[in-house]
Structure 1
């Protein structure tokens, strides 16, 4: 799996994922909040399986080889 999620994208995914999972765990939004596991996982692994299908790479133009910054 090549990295295809850039820094800003990664921070947003992890933040949204944590908020949704937190709201689901506290029973504020119900079971639908557990969908936050998906953006959380894609942010942590720096890989989104939909990006190659859609031809997207948010790592930046200079890093087209999939080696995002750490």
Structure 2
């Protein structure tokens, strides 16, 4: 592949990006579930969602909340 071909393909992919393979696979899985009788299915069930990274403050808060996860029973 020549440099000019590579430049042309790179410019084309900026204008018209290639489809996301995970979304394409989710659409196929959604239709297969619908065809086989699952009526309560949603496309969001099959789409992968990347989790948002946890900030240090959130991690510290989760750590501190872990100590209160099993509260002591009051002796009344």
Q: Same fold (TM over 0.5)?
A: no
- TM-score where L is the length of structure 1: 0.32
Larger Rg: 2
Q: Which has the higher contact order (CA 8 A, sep 6+)?
A: 1
- TM-score where L is the length of structure 2: 0.29
Question: Counting helix residues as a fraction of each chain, which structure ranks higher?
Answer: 1
